[in-house]
């Protein structure tokens, strides 16, 4: 069976997909992850296409930046030329008046360079920052529309890392690296052309080491990219670990697991440290080799150019100019090398974003959806089979028909498949075989938005967002009036505790509902389900399993009113809460083994009777104690 996934209270949730995020040593998984990462988007062209599609709406800004960039690159070659003219002209002839004009022109060129660089950077930043904001929104929207399987098998730390760290890496490229790459790249081309126009012999000497630079760059490229991917993966893992343990710190402390958690964190920290060291080592070595090659190139031009001046095929001014040309030729190479690590890290981030954006949800809207307007609430499972892991079935041939308006309770031991039944009805997953029908139509033929409006689920561990009580009930539905919110709260009995809070419906709830009790969160979730799904099917997934007796009584009182008005499916842990259900389904090992009402199932003396007896004996034991 799949490894149970613990919930926020440390309990094992039944039949959830395996969660192996915190396995520390697994070389095979590491190799598979690295291979799949490169297979998803190995072509740099595809990655630049991602950036290109994001930048496309801002092409006017980009065109303006491109024009200014070309002007910047053209002006970059003017100072060495003016220096050559000054040395071979006014300085050689001793004409101070002409030298003043060249000096003034030199200063004007420098000012022009500063102005063009500022304007070019401004326009590029305007386009880049808008594109990144769009990309971040696009990625978040894509994650929101992923299926439940993706969200349960992908760690929160990894998702947050995609939306923050990886986007930040692209921001580093667009805010700094791309400016350097574009300006210095074009400058290199212009400088090389000018050098050959001025003196081809000195140009060949200056650029003799560039082929070696290209080979070295190619050599380090793959290593830096691989190291970058490893570093980002290690960072995602340590973020996920911290997120889980900081939220579950109470459980760690209650069971004295501090030392074990510390050792596990040290293992993650070690892997992250080693990944960072490997990345920094490759980057530092790459920059050092580039500096050495630059010095070799400058030495060649000084020696060869000096010979040229003595031989008469070069002037002193030309030699001095070529020293600056060479510096300007290698300066782009060196600056590109310095930015190479940033670019490679960003390309690795773009790979991961690209891979996530190309992850298609397994549960999608149909191409020709059937409209779902008025919900009668008839539910039918036809020979439904389901598994999370192949060869480990969770549901085995479920056949179940629920007429409109009937309340059905589902009971059974942990691992029987109860929660999986709910997940399939809410279409968090699709059956591997068989069909689930709502009002005679396969769920897969409805739009997900229509289906989720028709099937309201109150989970075992309700989620509360930061905001007011009213916001948590309304949940972004601005069309719901305050009266609608109050009516739902009163119908669910949530109004009793809400009105006792400071500010009532304006009471500020902390993230995850930290300032509410489990029972209050459960009542709030029930009110939300009623407000957002005023009619249709109601599903309660062990909604009273972790609350106090007084709150359970409130929920039971509310449920007696609610269940009379709609079709309901109640996953129950406490059998005392489902005595009055129209029908009780008993599940065991993924099958329905009994079906009937409370009295008939007790009289049968089968699975339900044994479960009831066990719980009754547990209560008697507690009372005797």
Domain that holds residue 597: 379-460+532-624
Nearest-10 Cα torsion for 218, 221, 222, 225: -170
Same domain? For 351 and 408 the reply is: no
* pLDDT, greater one: 271 or 77: 271
- Please give the average per-residue pLDDT across 422-427, as a whole number: 89
- Burial string for 454-474 (b: 16+ CB within 10 Å, else e) reads bbbbbbbbbebeebbbbbbbb
Look at residue 14 and tell me whether its pLDDT is greater than 50: no
Q: Is residue 498, in this structure, part of any structural domain at all?
A: no
- Confirm whether 289 is domain-assigned: yes
| 364-402 confidence digits (pLDDT tens) | 899 999 998 888 889 999 999 999 888 889 999 999 999
Give the whole-angstrom CA distance, residue 494 versus residue 308.
Answer: 92
Per-residue model confidence (pLDDT) at position 228: 74
CA distance 409 to 303: 91
Do 404 and 263 belong together in one domain?
no
Q: 143: helix, coil or strand? A: helix
Residue 544 Cα to chain centre, angstroms? 33
Q: What CA–CA distances, in Å, run from 466 to 456, 514, 515, 522, 531? A: 21, 10, 10, 16, 19
**Nearest-angstrom CA–CA distance, 542 and 539:** 9
Whether residue 483 lies inside any domain: the answer is no
Query: Does residue 21 or residue 501 have the better pLDDT?
Result: 501
From CA 424, how far away is CA 443, in angstroms rounded? 9
Among 14-28, 234-248, 456-470, the least confident range: 14-28
Same domain, 236 and 190: yes
Closest of 201, 66, 145 to residue 428, by C-alpha: 145
Is residue 198 over pLDDT 60? yes
Helices (H), 145-208: 148-153, 156-161, 167-172, 178-198, 200-206
| Statement to judge: residues 82 and 132 lie in one domain | yes
Q: Is residue 233 part of a domain?
A: yes
CA neighbor of 388 nearest in space, from 332, 430, 451: 430
- Is residue 561 situated within a structural domain? yes
One domain for residues 292 and 433: no
pLDDT at 362: 86
Residue 225 has pLDDT above 80, yes or no: no
Residues 542 and 431 in one domain: yes
Tell me whether residue 20 is in a domain.
no
Which residue among 301, 322, 357 closes a domain? 357
Position 46 confidence tier, pLDDT thresholds 50, 70, 90: low
For residue 540, the cross-strand partners are 458, 570
| The pLDDT of residue 395 | 93
Q: How deeply is 245 buried, as exposed, middle or buried, from its count of CB atoms within 10 A (0-12, 13-18, 19+)?
A: middle
pLDDT-based confidence at residue 5 (cuts at 50, 70, 90): very low
What's the pTM value of the predicted model, to 2 decimals? Answer: 0.65
Q: Of 500-514, 529-543, 597-611, where does mean pLDDT reach its minimum?
A: 529-543
* Region of 511 on the Ramachandran plot (φ > 0 left; ψ -120 to 50 alpha; else beta): beta
Q: Which residue has the tokens 């923050």?
A: 164
> Are residues 389 and 247 part of one domain?
no
Could you give the angle at which helices 210-247 and 27-40 cross, rounded to 10 degrees?
A: 120
**The predicted structure's pLDDT at residue 47:** 63
In-domain check, residue 363:
no
Compute the distance between CA of residue 299 and CA of residue 332 in angstroms, rounded to an integer.
18
Give the pLDDT of residue 594: 92
pLDDT tens for 266-310 read 988 998 888 888 888 887 888 788 778 878 877 888 788 888 888
- Whether the pLDDT of residue 620 is over 70: the answer is no
Whether 279 and 322 have beta carbons less than 8 Å apart is answered as no
Compute the distance between CA of residue 427 and CA of residue 522 in angstroms, rounded to an integer: 22
Residues 201 and 314 reside in one and the same domain? yes
User: How would residue 333 be classed by pLDDT, with cut points 50, 70 and 90?
Assistant: low
Which is nearest to 472 in space by CA: 451, 453, 489, 450? 489
351/138 Cα distance (integer angstroms): 15
Half-sphere exposure of 378 (CA within 13 A, CB side): 8
Q: Is residue 39 part of a domain?
A: no
Mean pLDDT over 321-336 rounds to 74
- Kindly report the CATH number assigned to the domain that includes residue 579: 3.40.50.300
Most confident range (mean pLDDT) of 201-205, 263-267, 461-465 is 263-267
Count other Cβ atoms within 10 Å, centred on residue 515: 13
Range name among 36-40, 429-433, 594-598 with the lowest pLDDT average: 36-40
**Which tokens in the block code for residue 64?**
């303006």
Indicate the SS3 state at residue 556.
helix
pLDDT exceeds 70 at position 131: yes
Q: How far from the centroid of its chain's Cα atoms is residue 486's Cα?
A: 36
- Judge if 266 and 408 occupy the same domain: no
Tell which wins on pLDDT, 186 or 110: 110
Alpha helices, DSSP H, located in 199-257:
200-206, 210-247, 249-254
pLDDT in tens, 27-40: 333 443 444 444 43
pLDDT of 186 reads 78
Q: Is the pLDDT assigned to residue 526 strictly greater than 80?
A: yes
Confidence of residue 105 (pLDDT cuts 50, 70, 90): confident
For the stretch 144-182, pLDDT in tens is 888 888 887 787 777 887 888 888 888 877 777 777 777
DSSP, collapsed to helix, strand or coil, labels residue 541 as strand
CATH assignment at residue 191: 1.20.1560.10
Rounded average pLDDT over 204-222: 78
Number of structural domains the chain divides into: 2
| Same-domain pairing of 65 and 177 | yes
CA–CA dist 518, 227 (Å, integer): 45
DSSP annotation of 314 reads S
Q: Helix crossing, 482-491 with 518-532: angle to 10°?
A: 120
Q: For the beta carbon of residue 255, count every other beta carbon within 10 angstroms.
A: 10
Residues 399 and 353 in one domain: no
Dmax over Cα atoms in the chain, in whole Å? 121
Domain limit, last residue, from 323, 357, 391: 357
pLDDT tier for residue 544 given thresholds of 50, 70 and 90: low
Percent of the chain predicted with pLDDT > 70: 87
**pLDDT tens digits, one per residue of 437-459:** 999 999 999 999 889 888 888 88
Same domain, 150 and 194: yes
| pLDDT (mean) for 339-346 | 70
Per the prediction, the chain carries an average pLDDT of: 79
DSSP state of 461: S
Residue 465 has pLDDT above 90, yes or no: no
Of 304, 324, 357, the position where a domain reaches its end is 357
Which pLDDT belongs to residue 525? 87
β-pairing, 537-541 vs 379-389, is unpaired
Mean pLDDT of 109-121: 87
What confidence score (pLDDT) does residue 27 get?
Answer: 38
Name the more confident of 250 and 195. 195
């Amino acid at each position: 069976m799949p490894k149970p996934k613990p919930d926020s209270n440390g309990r094992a949730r039944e039949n959830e997909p395996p969660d192996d995020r915190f396995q520390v040593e697994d070389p095979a998984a590491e190799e598979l992850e690295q291979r799949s990462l490169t297979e998803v988007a190995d072509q740099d062209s595809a990655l630049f296409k991602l950036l290109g599609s994001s930048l496309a709406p801002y092409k006017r800004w980009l065109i303006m930046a491109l024009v200014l960039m070309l002007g910047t690159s053209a002006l970059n070659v003017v100072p060495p030329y003016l220096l050559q003219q000054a040395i071979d002209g006014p300085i050689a002839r001793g004409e101070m008046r002409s030298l003043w004009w060249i000096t003034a022109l030199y200063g004007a060129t420098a000012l022009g360079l500063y102005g063009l660089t500022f304007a070019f950077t401004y326009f590029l930043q305007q386009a880049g920052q808008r594109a990144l904001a769009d990309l971040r929104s696009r990625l978040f929207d894509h994650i929101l529309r992923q299926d439940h399987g993706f969200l349960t098998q992908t760690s929160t730390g990894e998702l947050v890392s995609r939306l923050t760290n990886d986007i930040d890496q692209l921001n580093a490229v667009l805010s700094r690296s791309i400016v350097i790459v574009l300006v210095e790249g074009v400058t290199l081309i212009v400088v090389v052309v000018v050098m050959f126009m001025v003196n081809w012999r000195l140009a060949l000497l200056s650029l003799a080491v560039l082929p070696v630079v290209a080979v070295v760059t190619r050599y380090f490229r793959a290593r830096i990219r691989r190291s970058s991917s490893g570093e980002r993966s290690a960072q995602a893992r340590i973020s996920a670990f911290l997120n889980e343990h900081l939220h579950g710190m109470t459980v760690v402390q209650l069971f004295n697991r501090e030392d074990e958690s510390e050792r596990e964190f040290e293992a993650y920290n070690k892997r992250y440290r080693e990944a960072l060291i490997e990345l920094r080592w490759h980057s530092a070595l790459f920059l050092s080799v580039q500096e050495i090659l630059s010095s070799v190139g400058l030495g060649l031009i000084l020696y060869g150019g000096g010979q040229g001046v003595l031989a008469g095929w070069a002037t002193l001014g030309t030699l001095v100019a070529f020293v600056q040309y060479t510096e300007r030729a290698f300066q782009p190479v060196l600056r590109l090398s310095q930015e190479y690590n940033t670019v490679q890290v960003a390309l690795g981030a773009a790979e991961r974003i690209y891979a996530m954006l190309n992850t298609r949800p397994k549960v999608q809207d149909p191409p020709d959806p059937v409209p779902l307007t008025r919900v009668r609430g008839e539910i039918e499972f036809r020979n439904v089979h389901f598994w999370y892991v192949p060869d480990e079935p969770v549901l085995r041939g479920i056949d179940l028909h629920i007429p409109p308006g009937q309340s059905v309770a589902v009971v059974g031991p942990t691992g029987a498949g109860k929660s999986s039944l709910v997940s399939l009805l809410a279409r968090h997953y699709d059956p591997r075989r068989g069909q689930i029908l709502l009002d005679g139509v396969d769920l897969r033929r409805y739009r997900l938005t229509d289906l989720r409006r028709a099937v309201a689920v109150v989970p075992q561990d309700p989620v509360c967002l930061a905001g007011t009580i009213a916001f948590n009930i309304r949940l972004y539905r601005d069309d719901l009036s305050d009266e609608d919110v109050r009516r739902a709260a009163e119908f669910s009995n949530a109004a009793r505790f809400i009105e006792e809070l400071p500010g009532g419906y304006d009471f500020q709830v902390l993230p995850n509902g930290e300032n509410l009790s489990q029972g209050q969160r459960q009542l709030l979730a029930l009110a939300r389900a009623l407000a957002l799904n005023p009619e249709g099917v109601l599903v309660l997934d062990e909604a009273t399993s972790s609350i106090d007796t007084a709150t359970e009584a409130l929920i039971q009182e509310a449920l007696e009113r609610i269940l009379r008005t709609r079709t309901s499916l109640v996953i129950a842990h406490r059998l005392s809460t489902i005595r009055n259900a129209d029908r009780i389904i008993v599940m065991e090992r993924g099958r329905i083994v009994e079906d009937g009402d409370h009295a008939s199932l007790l009289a049968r003396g089968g699975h339900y009777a044994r479960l009831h007896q066990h719980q009754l004996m547990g209560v008697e034991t507690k009372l005797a104690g």
